[in-house]
């Protein structure tokens, strides 16, 4: 594992992780402070939660991802208040906002059109969300990007997930 690997971009992922000697993927790490989600679920419809803080964290990191290999975003939470369905709903919500070409949404992150969003979004292989208690049943949430240009191989996923749980 190499911390802050050298790259040609101004901002790069935090770590380059080498699995065996033949596969390297990039790992970007961030942490969300404790606080209520900015968007709450509708109790009448029981829809999953879309957390705007989580969405903002993902979008803020997309420009740091490298185009030539797998990229994983690891987000630490002080309290695990999300479910896998909430994580999926948040990421689907991001795609929908880009597809609708919401000007404020795109401009906030420096994208002019939806193609700019999807160019960076395709670099994201997976999002992992981790709570503070690694022994808890919900210690790690994972979302695999179906649009990823470089998905992680299954054996790499297994090792990565095990490294994040107790």
Segment 32-38 shows an average pLDDT of 68
How would residue 166 be classed by pLDDT, with cut points 50, 70 and 90? low
Distance set, CA 65 to CA 36, 42, 114, 136 (Å): 28, 33, 17, 30
40 pLDDT exceeds 70? no
Instruction: Mean pLDDT check: name the lowest of 10-14, 50-54, 70-74.
Output: 10-14
pLDDT on residue 47: 63
23 pLDDT exceeds 70? yes
Domain map (residue ranges) of the chain: 9-38+51-163
Segment 6-35 shows an average pLDDT of 83
Q: What angle do CA 142, 9, 119 make, to 5 degrees?
A: 55
Place of tokens 């994201």: 124
Tell me: the pLDDT tens digits for 71-124? 999 999 887 778 899 899 999 999 999 999 998 999 999 999 999 999 999 999
In the chain, the N- to C-terminal Cα span, in Å, equals 20
Task: Please give the share of the chain, as a percent, with pLDDT higher than 90.
Answer: 57
Segment 3-18 shows an average pLDDT of 77
């Amino acid at each position: 594992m190499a911390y802050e690997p050298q790259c040609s971009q101004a901002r790069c992922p935090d770590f380059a992780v080498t699995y065996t000697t033949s596969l390297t993927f990039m790992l970007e790490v961030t942490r969300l402070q404790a606080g209520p989600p900015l968007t709450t679920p509708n109790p009448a419809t029981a829809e999953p939660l879309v957390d705007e803080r989580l969405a903002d964290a993902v979008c803020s990191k997309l420009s740091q991802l490298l185009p030539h290999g797998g990229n994983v975003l690891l987000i630490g939470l002080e309290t695990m208040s999300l479910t896998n369905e909430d994580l999926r709903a948040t990421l689907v919500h991001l795609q929908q906002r880009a597809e609708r070409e919401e000007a404020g949404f795109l401009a906030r992150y420096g994208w002019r059109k939806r193609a700019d969003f999807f160019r960076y979004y395709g670099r994201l292989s997976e999002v992992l969300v981790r709570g503070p208690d690694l022994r808890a049943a919900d210690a790690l949430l994972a979302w695999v990007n179906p649009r990823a240009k470089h998905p992680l191989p299954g054996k790499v996923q297994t090792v990565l997930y095990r490294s994040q749980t107790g």
